[in-house]
Chain A
Amino acid sequence: QQPVQSPQAVILREGEDAVINCSSSKALYSVHWYRQKHGEAPVFLMILLKGGEQKGHEKISASFNEKKQQSSLYLTASQLSYSGTYFCGTERSGNTGKLIFGQGTTLQVKP
């Protein structure tokens, strides 16, 4: 079942902060975050596992609330390079490779 992302779109000025949310109605094993720029491949940002472990890029932070099956991606002091579409992907069980992506959040950072 596809996770739901909010908001659908965000417009920021450089230096502003943003939060992108991802929620599921089903129990999750992990949440993954990817960014895709127009005409490019998705790029891995972070994985959050139930139990609290997380791995990803140092400048990206995210949280995973297992009780609510929600994850949030925090983008602080945004830069122009942060522009793109952010997808969360969810796994309901481990070691399957079955990643289901949300519909995406488009982020535009303006000078």
Chain B
Amino acid sequence: DTEVTQTPKHLVMGMTNKKSLKCEQHMGHRAMYWYKQKAKKPPELMFVYSYEKLSINESVPSRFSPECPNSSLLNLHLHALQPEDSALYLCASSPNRDNFEGAFFGQGTRLTVV
């Protein structure tokens, strides 16, 4: 299984809602990542997890809260988002942080904040 699975594929939420994005991989990868991608822009790194511990937070607003409950799962909890947070949220994983074999990306969750 060489897939990174993200759910849901699409999400529409109001600015007062709380929702969560889920990412799962069964490749035994120990590094997992959240990226945000706006239309016609490159992916922007948000968080890096290594061995279930948060190692990088790219100054992401606290309305985004990541969680890594185990080595296969990565969640992104969303609360009080703004319309400008609407984007494609990509999860990725790699064997470890050295990325020598590249990262596998999921198909993403397309988030719309209304």
Contact = CB atoms under 8 A, between A and B. Distances in A.
B97 A97 contact: yes
A97 B94 contact: yes
Given A87-B42, A96-B48, A97-B33, A32 B99 contact: yes
B42 A91 contact: no
Contacts of B56: 96-98
Interface stretch (A39-47, A61-69, A73-81): A39-47
Contact of B42 (A30, A40, A103): A103
B48 A42 contact: no
B43 interface: yes
Nearest to A94: B98
| Top 5 closest pairs, chain A to chain B, by CB | A44-B102, A101-B42, A97-B97, A41-B105, A97-B48
24 contacts: A2-B42, A40-B107, A41-B4, A41-B105, A42-B105, A43-B105, A44-B101, A44-B103, A47-B100, A47-B102, A55-B102, A87-B43, A91-B99, A94-B98, A96-B48, A96-B55, A97-B31, A97-B56, A97-B94, A97-B99, A98-B56, A99-B45, A99-B99, A103-B42
